[in-house]
Amino acid sequence: MAKVLIIYSTTDGHTRSICERLQGIIEGLDQSVDVLWMTEHADVDITQYDKVVVGASIRYGKHQPQVFDFIRRNHATLDSRPNAFFTVNVVARKPEKNTPATNPYMQKFLPKIDWQPQHLAVFAGRLDFPKYSYFDRQMIRLIMWMTKGPTAPDTVVEFTDWDKVEEFGRTIAAM
C-alpha cells in the first residue's frame, strides 16, 4: 500500500480542510495518508513516504517562509519520488486566475524554489472576516474592495471548488 505524506502550512486552517478532503479521496483509493502541519512537523523524515504533497496558503501576497525552508531542505528527496504542490489563495476565486499557469502566486513561487513539482494545483480559499483581528479584517476588506470581492464586515465565504480538490486527490492517488 502506497504511503502518502501531505504536509501543509496554514494560518486559519482552510488549507488543512483541503488536505483532509484530499486524504479522504486518497484513502478511499486504498492508499495510506498522513496529513501533517508543517509548523509542528517541519523535521519529518520524508524518506518514509512513497509520495509527498506540499500545500500552502497565501497571506499578504506570500507563502510562509517555512514552506521555502522545507522545500530547500528536502528538495532532493522530493525529486526522488512522486510529488505535488498546491497553493490556496482568494485571487484564485477568479476563473482567469485559478490554474497553475494563470495564478500569480503560483507563478511567483515556482522560480523561487529549486524543486520542480510534478503536479500542481491552485485552490480558491475561504474568508471569515469576523474571525480576523481588526487590522487583518480592514486589510482584507481593502484588498477585496480593490479586487471587486465582498467587503461587508460580517462576510464568511468559501470560494473553494471541492470537485477540483477531489480531482487532485485522484491525481495524487494515480501518481
Q: Please report how close the Cβ of residue 126 comes to ligand FMN at its closest, in angstroms.
A: 4
Q: 67 vs 34, 74, 129, 161, CA distance in Å?
A: 18, 11, 25, 23
Query: Among 4, 5, 6, 90, which residue sits at the site for ligand FMN (rule: CB under 6 A)?
Result: 90
> With respect to ligand FMN, which residue has the nearer C-beta, 159 or 174?
159
Using rule CB under 6 A, residue 142 touches ligand FMN: no
Cell numbers at residue 76, please?
A: 532532493
Using rule CB under 6 A, residue 38 touches ligand FMN: no
Query: Among 127, 144, 165, 172, which residue sits at the site for ligand FMN (rule: CB under 6 A)?
Result: 127
> With respect to ligand FMN, which residue has the nearer C-beta, 83 or 160?
160
Q: Please report how close the Cβ of residue 174 comes to ligand FMN at its closest, in angstroms.
A: 25
Instruction: Cite the DSSP H helix spans in 11-156.
Output: 14-28, 38-41, 65-79, 104-109, 134-146
Give Cα 47 to chain centroid, integer Å: 21
Rounded Cα distance, 22 and 6, in Å: 9
Query: Among 72, 79, 139, 152, which residue sits at the site for ligand FMN (rule: CB under 6 A)?
Result: 139
Neighbouring residues of 37: CB distance < 8 A, sequence distance ≥ 6: 7, 8, 9, 10, 16
Q: Which residues bind ligand FMN (CB under 6 A)?
A: 10-15, 57-61, 88-91, 125-127, 132, 136, 139-140
